[in-house]
A and B are shown apart, each in its own frame.
Chain A
Amino acid sequence: IQMTQSPATLSASVGGRITITCRASQTISTWLAWYQQRPGRAPKLLISKTTNLEGGVPSRFSGSGSGTEFTLTISSLQSDDFVTYYCQQYSSYPWTFGQGTKVEIK
């Protein structure tokens, strides 16, 4: 299953709202996770099963979707949020990631 994220890069302002889209090449129900990765650091799990926020993740992060189209929304961008985000499907082997979306400060 191919996972396609858009956009590859996104420019936004502190306090702004952004949405990252992740599309699957075939239906994955809601078996989708989102990760955040800071430069030089390991990825961090943000969301599982499309909408389930991991413990400690701020409520400004939210996920939605089902089937083949999914979104990650950050409602009020903080300076810490300007990093790279990946989606991952875990519907079927082989488990695949999107190519990443880098969020930059405008």
Chain B
Amino acid sequence: EVQLLESGGGLIQPGRSLKLSCRASGFSFSSQAMSWVRQAPGKGLEWVSVISDNSLNTYYADSVKGRFIISRDNSKNTLYLQMRSLRGDDTAMYYCATALEWPNPYFDHWGQGSLVTVSS
């Protein structure tokens, strides 16, 4: 059974940094592209970033480009999202998801999410 478990969220002040993790199990993580998708409270879904299986290719939404970095450690079956210069509009539930049909993905399995609240 595919399982994705996000962690690292919390309350953070504007301008600070936070790193999310997503521990994967139940599938061949090293062969799978992975993505982050977020959802602001009461709002719709917004794709954030995606990384190829071998980390050679990464893509970002314009809203986070230059501030967020996606990475992965295939030896640990873990996906990361380093978030810098956080702003109030980054407040959201952050989901990690498996990304199918690389290089233009849709999202198959999703974690339960990690809530990031940016507020002073």
By a beta-carbon cutoff of 8 Å, the part of chain A in contact with chain B is 31, 33, 35, 37, 41-45, 48, 54, 86, 88, 90-100
Contact = CB atoms under 8 A, between A and B. Distances in A.
A18 B88 CA distance: 37
Nearest to B96: A42
Nearest to A98: B44
A97 B45 contact: yes
B22 to A, nearest CB: 12
A98 to B, nearest CB: 7
17 contacts: A31-B101, A33-B106, A37-B45, A42-B110, A42-B111, A43-B95, A44-B110, A45-B107, A45-B108, A45-B109, A86-B45, A92-B104, A94-B62, A95-B104, A96-B47, A99-B44, A100-B45
A92 B62 CA distance: 14
Nearest to B104: A90
Given A43-B95, A94-B47, 17 more contacts: A33-B107, A35-B107, A37-B45, A41-B112, A42-B95, A42-B110, A43-B107, A43-B110, A45-B107, A45-B108, A48-B106, A54-B108, A88-B107, A93-B104, A94-B59, A96-B47, A97-B45
A2 B98 CA distance: 23
A88 B104 CA distance: 11
Contacts, number: 59
Q: 8 closest Cβ contacts across the A-B interface?
A: A42-B110, A33-B106, A97-B45, A90-B106, A90-B104, A100-B44, A99-B44, A95-B47
B45 A35 contact: yes
